[in-house]
Amino acid sequence: MAAIDNFFSSIKSLAKIALLSRPCSRLKGRAKGDRLIIMANGPSLADTITRSADKLKAEPTMAVNFAAIAPEFTALKPDYYVLADPHFFSGDTTDTNLARLKDRLAAVDWPMTLIVPVKYRRQARKLYGNLDIATFNAVGIEGFDVMCHAAFRCGLAMPRPRNVLIPSIMLGIALGYKEIIITGADHSWMKTISVTDDNEVVSVQPHFYTDGKDEEARIRHEYRGYHLHQIVDSFAVAFRSYHQIARYADSSGVKILNATPGSFIDAFPRTSF
């Protein structure tokens, strides 16, 4: 049964690559050493920054999503920044968090590469054109590992990018890093999910920074209309993608370690930061 499922998934994935993948940036060779630290935006990152700011400043780092609005951003000076969600390229002038993000990124005065999906390249250059911009294919595929790994190495696809950490890890591998340390990847959404008496699913996803009322309202609006099984299924997609990444990293000679205390990700060995 698994072989049959993989066969049909592989056929579907090849079709997605043919239809959706586009020429994107060549990232290999842009690594600034052997080890990269990815700073996901989970609440535990605040403690990691407090305890280990000097280490984060001393090694190549990658930030994601709204990290730039945090006061610590300009002190940490990440080398890479990943945006993947379509919302970041919408140009929504009513979203105060987006406006703050744009202002903070416009003020970056150190070498930092912004990496975005190739389909948003034009919008990214319009909104964040002061930065060095690189692109990737956010085309999620599943199927036989031999087919998937070949597509990953060519930059044509990646494990299904349910959240920004998935492309971030894949980009770390593509850049040429041999060891990737993950911080701030709590992924403890199942602890905060609930259902109201009106059968409305509420999913709280806290970050190390303060989201603000606009962002909280946007997230509530996005989840409105989704049923619990749909949301839990999307969680499963993310955790399955991490295991797919682990197999690919192993085949590529890359070590991925999770330094997030209490993280729900079970695909990577744990380490202490």
Residue-wise DSSP of 4-65: HHHHHHHHHHHHHHHHH-------TT--SSSEEEEE--STTHHHHHHHHHHHHHHS-EEEEG
In this predicted model, what pLDDT tens digit does every residue of 78-131 receive, in sequence order?
999 999 999 999 988 788 889 999 999 999 999 999 999 999 999 999 999 999
Q: Is residue 65 in a domain?
A: yes
pLDDT at 226: 83
- Choice between 265 and 94, residue whose per-residue pLDDT is larger: 265
Q: Is residue 268 in a domain?
A: no
Whole-model pTM? 0.93
> What total of structural domains would you count in the chain?
1
Q: Is residue 150 in a domain?
A: no
Q: Is residue 270 in a domain?
A: no
**pLDDT tier, 194 (very low <50, low <70, confident <90, very high otherwise):** confident
Q: Is residue 149 in a domain?
A: no
Q: Is residue 15 in a domain?
A: no
Q: Is the pLDDT of residue 139 over 80?
A: yes
Q: Is residue 124 in a domain?
A: yes
Q: Which domain holds residue 198?
A: 24-139+158-258
As given in the structure block, the two tokens for residue 231 are: 């949301």
pLDDT (mean) for 230-255? 96
Main-chain dihedrals φ then ψ at residue 140, nearest 5 degrees: -85, 130
pLDDT > 90: percent of the chain: 79
> At 53, which CATH number?
3.90.1480
pLDDT (mean) for 18-37? 96
